[in-house]
Amino acid sequence: MEAEYKKLIQSQETDELLEEERVKEYDKLKQEAGKRTAVLRQQLYTVEKEQKDLQEILDRELCKKVQINRQQQGIKNAIADANIRLQKIDCYIKEKELSLHEKKKLQDEEQAKVSSANEEIEKVKSELETLVKHLNQMNIGSELFLKEKKKQDIVKDLKMAFGDNILGRMSDLCHPAHERYKLAITKVMGKNLNALVVKSKQTALEVIHYLKTFHLPPEIILPLDTIKVYPIQGRLRNLCIPSGENVKLLYDVIHCKVRVIEPAVRFAVSNCLLCETTDTAVYVAYKLDPTVKYNVVSLDGTYYKKGGVLSSGKVSLQQKAKQWLGQEILQAQNRKTELCEKLRDLQKQSRTIPNVRQTTDEICSIEIRVKYVKEDRKKLIEKVTELQSQLEKLGTHSADADSLITDLEQKMLDHCNKRQTIQNEMNLVEDTVFSDFCHKTGIATVREYEGIGLRLYQERAEKRSELSTHKQNILTQLKYENEKLTLQTGTLKKEQELNELKAELETAKLHVQQAEEDKINHSQKLKDLKLNLQTLKTKRFSTEKERVKAQDDAKRLADDIKEGTSQLNNVRLRIENLKYEHRNLLVQCKVQGLNIPMRRGTMADIHESEPSSLNESSSTSQGVEQDERRIVIDYSQLSDSLKEASDVKKAVKELGLNIEDTMLKIRTKKPNMKVVEEFDAIQLSLKEIYSEVESTVKILRHDGHKFKKIREDRTRKFMECFSSLETQVDDIYKELYEAQNGAALLTLENPEEPYLAGVRYSVQVPHKRCVAMDCLSGGEAAMASLAFMFALNRYRKAPIIILDEPDGSLDQRNVSKFAEFLKQNIHLQIIIITHRNRSAYATVADDVIGIVKEIENGLTVSKMCILDLTEYQMNEEDNQEDEIRSSLGKQ
């Protein structure tokens, strides 16, 4: 390029010199022209300065115009926003006024509800007060009420057990015709007032057995089919008394609620007469007819019996007469309970009714809001008016700015014309000065030369400078390449050394990989050895427990054998004594001439020898044994109580006393011949009852054995599960934490019957102390729960396990440990639902299922996306290589 440029310069050397001379001549003429046009240039400068000042004023006015337009637009936007806000305020006011109307209506309704609830509460309170006063007027103590309630409860239980066969108590089934008859009826009925009325004798026996079975207090029972009822003597209703007082049958002033119990009432009062006063009662009892005696009672409770017995006691009768109020008391108490519950419900309901004061506060709040909103509306209208006035002012300023801008533009146009005139005069002067120069160069005007020739000269100068710069750059680059060539030889040596280092690195990687494989194998062997050691420790512990238990059992058996031997000797000695006493009794019976029924042998076969000394005891025992072999007594005629009697002498003495008492009663009283028949019937019913009891006892024993077997099976199955869990939960907990210094322990609260109490679960987190589950944090408790769940699954495997966010309380480290545990247990089918830490599961999962939302035909539907991860799983070599790289990167 330099050579070509030199050739071009040599060929144009004269032109280049000529060009330099023309440039010098141009500079001289330019100075001359400048001197001649100095005045015009000064005028041109003044005009340009004035034009520049006008342009600045014009630009300032244009900016001011733009600002005014922007302000106008902003005010218009503010007015539009204010109008929109006014519309919203109007809508808000209408909405709040409507809500205010609804709130006031709701307030009226709530006040009406509260007033009605308060009125209802006052009514219930007044009724409750009246009822309490009535109960107080009855003067009924709590003891009597509880006693009466207990009696009523017994009747209810009996009715539930025997149904309609139980009619009720006499005091509940009948009542006096008037209050003044209560004392008389109470006196005559006596204990029968609280008697139970039943339909049949069989029911009465069953009730007696029921009361004994459940240890209830004894009751007087009146069976309607067997009680002896005397007929009512109608003539007693027409007795004539000199005093003219009325004498009534007590039966006539008793009203029965059901006609079925009339026999029981007649049995209780018989043909007893009722008189108004005691004098009348004495007259009727003893003086009306000396040949006939009557049972008479007065209204004050004085009772005159046929045998002449007189009984009264008004205070005690009044206390007993309160039993007639039993039903009324219970009804009043029940009504009191109902009223209390109703009052409680009404008070609760009144509390649940929305608070009227709260509604009033809401109304006041809404009114205040509406008031403030109306004030805001008023202020907003004022603001809109002010903005409109500002907009009118800005319109006036904009018109003034437009007129000023028009004047400035006209002045600018005048200055441009003046500037052009001065410039034309300056061009005429320059043309006069450069006329010869233009004639020589062959150009029309000097401005053409300035536009073409001078520009070409300047371009060539720039090209010369550029060629020089380019040459210098090439020399610098050549120098750099020479230096680079010198360094290339050393670079080849460095590359050779680098290849050798890479080969050594590959060999080291192979050695590291082999070492990792050996490490994995050794760790697996170590884990197997630890499992075997744990198994051996468990077997040793169980064997030790069995050995200790066997020693305790052997010791206990030795004690039992020793005790049993002593008891056996005592029993043998007692048997010998009993045999000897038995023979003596037989000898005494033979001496006294008593005939004892025998199954085998006779009384003559009994030897009457008596031992005279201790040396003859052996012969006596032989005689007793011979008598027992020859004689067998028949005990079938004895009663069951005597058969089971442990003390024969005491039983014989009691029998003798009973015989004497019976003979004395027979001698003093006339025997009832029907007693034997009744006794036989009772005996028959007792046998039936005993047979039922025996069958029931057999059923209970069978059920007891069955329950015992079920309890044993339950305990055995529970302990099988617990033993498995006790071992597995500790192993799994250590696998989860990948540490052997952690532990999970299960202990029973009740070792005898474990299913009746709980199981304590204690955990020792690695590097911490052993605590219960309640003292663990959320993540630690989650890990312990997972260990227990998988231990339970190992005992009783499930076909599939679904875990819903098991990592909710776990950090990233524990989630990775859990994922590693899942990787080791690939035989389990597990579905995990999670929203976090998904990358940890992706390395061990087979499939990933995602639920996404899509829009189809304008509707949002849920779709399931399933991704099979088995195609992307790394093999063991790649996985080991990644682990080696990560470990090298950490180093």
Q: What is the pLDDT of residues 72-125, one digit of tens each?
A: 888 888 888 888 888 888 888 888 888 888 888 887 887 777 777 778 888 877
Considering only 38-42, 442-446, 865-869, which range has the smallest mean pLDDT? 442-446
pLDDT digits (tens, 9 = 90+) for 365-387: 888 888 888 888 888 888 888 88
Considering only 136-145, 543-552, 664-673, which range has the smallest mean pLDDT? 136-145
- Say whether pLDDT at 619 is over 60: no
Cα–Cα distance measured from residue 99 to residue 109, given in angstroms and rounded to the nearest whole number: 15
pLDDT band at 789 (very low <50, low <70, confident <90, very high): very high
Look at residue 279 in the predicted model and tell me its pLDDT.
80
Higher pLDDT, residue 668 or 559: 559
Which burial class, exposed, middle or buried, applies to 281 when counting CB atoms under 10 A from its CB (0-12, 13-18, 19+)? buried
pLDDT digits (tens, 9 = 90+) for 810-831: 888 888 888 888 888 878 888 9
φ, ψ of residue 56 in degrees (nearest 5): -65, -40
- Say whether pLDDT at 885 is over 50: no
Residues 174 and 186: beta-carbon distance below 8 Å = no
Cα–Cα distance measured from residue 498 to residue 699, given in angstroms and rounded to the nearest whole number: 97
Buried b (16+ CB within 10 A) or exposed e, 37-65: beebeebbeebeebbeebeebbeebeebb
Residue 190 DSSP code: G
pLDDT digits (tens, 9 = 90+) for 501-514: 788 778 877 877 77
Higher pLDDT, residue 815 or 147: 815
Residue with tokens 């009892």: 285
pLDDT band at 648 (very low <50, low <70, confident <90, very high): low
Residues 834 and 807: beta-carbon distance below 8 Å = yes
Cα–Cα distance measured from residue 310 to residue 336, given in angstroms and rounded to the nearest whole number: 42
Residue with tokens 């400078």: 465
Whether the pTM exceeds 0.85: the reply is no
Q: How many CA atoms lie within 13 A of 553 on its CB side?
A: 6
Higher pLDDT, residue 278 or 518: 278
CA distances from 8 to 79, 99, 271, 474 (A): 77, 100, 173, 22
Higher pLDDT, residue 567 or 83: 83
- Say whether pLDDT at 527 is over 80: no
Q: Are strands 296-298 and 303-304 parallel, antiparallel or unpaired?
A: antiparallel
pLDDT band at 785 (very low <50, low <70, confident <90, very high): very high
Residue with tokens 């075997």: 532
Which H/E stretch holds residue 801? strand 801-804
Cα–Cα distance measured from residue 173 to residue 167, given in angstroms and rounded to the nearest whole number: 8
Average pLDDT for 237-241: 76
Look at residue 5 in the predicted model and tell me its pLDDT.
63
Task: Report which residue type is found at 774.
Answer: D
Average pLDDT for 192-207: 86
- Say whether pLDDT at 886 is over 50: no
- Say whether pLDDT at 323 is over 70: no
- Say whether pLDDT at 617 is over 50: no
Look at residue 802 in the predicted model and tell me its pLDDT.
92
Q: Maximum Cα–Cα distance for the chain, whole Å?
A: 200
- Among residues 736, 733, 735, 756, the alpha carbon closest in space to that of 746 is found at 733
φ, ψ of residue 459 in degrees (nearest 5): -65, -40
Of the ranges 111-115, 257-261, 361-365, 550-554, the best mean pLDDT one: 257-261
Look at residue 96 in the predicted model and tell me its pLDDT.
84
Look at residue 6 in the predicted model and tell me its pLDDT.
63
Cα–Cα distance measured from residue 213 to residue 570, given in angstroms and rounded to the nearest whole number: 38
- Among residues 324, 302, 325, the alpha carbon closest in space to that of 314 is found at 302
- Say whether pLDDT at 421 is over 60: yes
Rounded to a whole number of angstroms, the CA Rg of the chain reads 64
- Say whether pLDDT at 621 is over 70: no
Residues 198 and 204: beta-carbon distance below 8 Å = yes
Separation of CA 78 from chain center? 57
Average pLDDT for 42-47: 83
Mean pLDDT for the chain overall: 76
φ, ψ of residue 867 in degrees (nearest 5): -120, 125
φ, ψ of residue 494 in degrees (nearest 5): -65, -35
How many CB atoms are located within 10 Å of the residue 330 CB? 15
Residues 317 and 73: beta-carbon distance below 8 Å = no
- Say whether pLDDT at 308 is over 70: no
Residues 274 and 303: beta-carbon distance below 8 Å = no
Cα–Cα distance measured from residue 114 to residue 360, given in angstroms and rounded to the nearest whole number: 14
